[in-house]
Amino acid sequence: MPPSFSLNTTTSILLTLLITGCGAPTDQQNQIDYNVNALKVSGGTLINAMTGEPSGLISMIAGESASSAISSNIFNSLLKYDKNLELEGDLTESWQISTDQKTITFKLKHNLKWADNQPLTSADVLFTWQAVTDEKNASPYASDFLLVKKAETPDPQTFRVTYAQAYAPALDSWAGLQILPKHLLEGKDLHTTAFARKPVGSNYYKLDNWKHGEHLMLSRNANSVLGSAQIDSLVTRIIPDNSAQFLELMADNIDLMGLDPIKYSRIIPARPELLKKLALYKELGNSYTYMGFNLKHKPFDDVRVRRAINYAIDKQEIIDGVYLGLGINIASPYKPGTRWSNPALQPYPYDPAKARALLKEAGFTDSNGDGILERDGKPFSFEIITNQNKEREKSAVLIQRRLKEVGIDVRIRAIEWASFISRFIKTGDFDVVVLGWGLGLDPDQYNIWHSSQQAPGQFNFIGYNNPKIDALLEQGRLELNPDKRMVIYHKFAEILLEDSPIIYLSAGYGLTAIHKRVKGIDNPAPPAGIGHNSQDWYIPQALRRNEISTQ
């Protein structure tokens, strides 16, 4: 049967539509050469898109990435990370850690002001700490701050916190907490306050206009505590469907979009008309994809089985086939190249022979000759579940094939996220998951690996329980000296690799296309990623969109 079986009139009309559709977009902007080096002048509009609308802009309440992506342009924290991922002051000028390592004193910068001209003082910081730890606000970020035994404001410039015992991730946690204005929020219910939709902050931008379900517009904040950003306004459009977003990018209606590996390395590079106006960026994210075992289910409680499966999976194949080479084979749960990542560790090589040997050792043999191993008469068969993420689905399919080769029967199910969490993860009703972890910058991974974190809804849902790991995690939290901490977390990663409760599949790159009209972006990306200096990005006058006709 030839593929042209369906060529009747209707389809040929559609074909024509499609083929004519494959030509270059005929927008007038195509003539502009976006590669010019133009003068850095402030002004212009950067249009971004998101698939989901933030539920509010108080990110400690909303607790979702859509919210913090926007609120981080509006609010400051006490500390922030510079381009090399070292901590520096954001609202603070300096900070001091006491000799017993339990007390941190932050000195705020002088003359800080909120966008409404009110002074920003340590009272605001104290208020924010009270808010995040207030039980009634139920902030997802509370746990770090609940460890603070005492918070005080000796003067308007000084904020001091005392922990019951030294807490190494403390500084990182303060870098993540956005400081809120006390004078506008005191006594309000943070969930329902109108402030969440009309925020007043201190950072480079302020919210101008939020059209429900359509877009959020930020413009420069004249009182910005850190000086002035180059671009006048940031617009974030809400476009739920990814394909529609990509169409908007092609039509020049948005300037920035996250890409999947296929768009990044196959589609855009093959299209001269897109390359002419889009610049591609990749940055190694602080995240990885893994295959995790439910350690409470047999036979995954047996380390030989876990190792065997680790040997049986060809990680490089997944990186090449699914991530099109845009991934790194890792051996510890940290971003490669950072000090926390143990360079001495090597990932499990692809070695099916070793896998078979280990499985045999664990008691699995193919007794009935059907190609599937059995133990005690039961075939070795399990289900991999994953959420609807194309890369994860594809990885699971590749894993399925490799495991079949060593005699393990694997079924795959991709489940929509909410069901996935509520039906399978929270109830522990799964065998194996393929998922990803997005991590903070602090090496502490207590929430993920400590045996105390196994209640429904907590992060150690695979049920990992290893006293040695528990001890290291506790130790790591108490140690503030980076070099000593490094030794602890290198050891932690080593044991984890040996024990193989999860199989690292790949540390993936974040891939972004940004319109070439936007200049001043660091390429290649520094450790902190391209976004670290977004306030210095600029759009030369000549390359700006005709703002009247902006769609």
493-512 residues near other proteins, rule: CB under 8 A? none
For other proteins, what does the binding mask look like between residues 329 and 368, x meaning CB under 8 A?
----------------------------------------
Q: Which of residues 448-467 bind other proteins (CB under 8 A)?
A: 455-459
Q: Which of residues 516-545 bind other proteins (CB under 8 A)?
A: none
Query: Is 272 a binder of other proteins (CB under 8 A)?
Result: no
For other proteins, what does the binding mask look like between residues 182 and 221, x meaning CB under 8 A?
---------xx-x-x------------x-xxxxx-x----
The rounded distance, in Å, linking the Cα atoms of 463 and 295 is: 6
Residue of 397, 441, 480, 487 interacting with other proteins (CB under 8 A): 397
Q: Which of residues 8-37 bind other proteins (CB under 8 A)?
A: 10-11, 14-15, 17-18, 20-23, 25-27
Q: Least distance (Å) from other proteins to the CB of residue 437?
A: 11
Best CA proximity match to 25, nearest among 206, 226, 179, 246? 246
One-letter identity of residue 331: A
Q: Least distance (Å) from other proteins to the CB of residue 258?
A: 13
Q: Which of residues 222-251 bind other proteins (CB under 8 A)?
A: 235, 237-244, 246-248, 250-251
Q: Least distance (Å) from other proteins to the CB of residue 8?
A: 8
Residue with tokens 């994860």: 392
Q: Least distance (Å) from other proteins to the CB of residue 105?
A: 29
The rounded distance, in Å, linking the Cα atoms of 255 and 281 is: 13
The packing angle between helices 303-312 and 352-361, to 10°, is 160
The rounded distance, in Å, linking the Cα atoms of 45 and 545 is: 8
Identify which of residues 99 and 549 has a Cβ nearer to other proteins in the complex: 549
Identify which of residues 75 and 340 has a Cβ nearer to other proteins in the complex: 75
Cβ proximity of 454 and 466 under 8 Å: no
Residue of 401, 481, 523, 542 interacting with other proteins (CB under 8 A): 401
- Quote helix, strand, coil % in the chain, to nearest 5: 35, 20, 45
Compute how many residues bind other proteins; rule: CB under 8 A: 103
Residue of 368, 388, 481, 541 interacting with other proteins (CB under 8 A): 388
Residue of 73, 133, 139, 506 interacting with other proteins (CB under 8 A): 139
Residue of 297, 339, 423, 544 interacting with other proteins (CB under 8 A): 423
The rounded distance, in Å, linking the Cα atoms of 34 and 252 is: 13
Helices (H), 109-226: 122-133, 142-146, 170-176, 182-185
The rounded distance, in Å, linking the Cα atoms of 380 and 10 is: 50
The stretch among 111-119, 284-292, 352-360, 387-395 that binds other proteins (CB under 8 A) is 387-395
* Backbone φ, ψ for residue 78 (5° rounding): -70, -40
Query: Is 438 a binder of other proteins (CB under 8 A)?
Result: no
Identify which of residues 263 and 356 has a Cβ nearer to other proteins in the complex: 263
Q: Least distance (Å) from other proteins to the CB of residue 280?
A: 15
Identify which of residues 18 and 478 has a Cβ nearer to other proteins in the complex: 18
Q: Least distance (Å) from other proteins to the CB of residue 522?
A: 28
Q: Least distance (Å) from other proteins to the CB of residue 319?
A: 10
Q: Tokens representing 468?
A: 């040695």
Q: Which residues pair with 219 in a beta bridge?
A: 206, 233
Q: Least distance (Å) from other proteins to the CB of residue 251?
A: 5
CA atoms within 13 A on the CB side of 27: 18
DSSP string, 215-267: EEEEEE-TT-TT---SSSEEEEEE---HHHHHHHHHTTS-SEEE--HHIIIII
Best CA proximity match to 178, nearest among 82, 274, 80, 258? 80
**Residue 471 parent element (H or E):** helix 467-478
Query: Is 143 a binder of other proteins (CB under 8 A)?
Result: yes
Q: Which residues contact 67 (CB under 8 A, 6 or more apart)?
A: 54, 55, 56, 57, 58, 59
Identify which of residues 34 and 106 has a Cβ nearer to other proteins in the complex: 34
Q: Least distance (Å) from other proteins to the CB of residue 333?
A: 18
Q: Least distance (Å) from other proteins to the CB of residue 116?
A: 15
Identify which of residues 204 and 424 has a Cβ nearer to other proteins in the complex: 424
DSSP string, 316-346: HHHHHHTSTT-EE--SSSS-TTSTTS-TT--
Buried b (16+ CB within 10 A) or exposed e, 226-256: beebbbbbbbbbbbeeeeebbebbbebbbbb
Q: Which of residues 303-332 bind other proteins (CB under 8 A)?
A: 317, 320-322
Identify which of residues 51 and 98 has a Cβ nearer to other proteins in the complex: 51
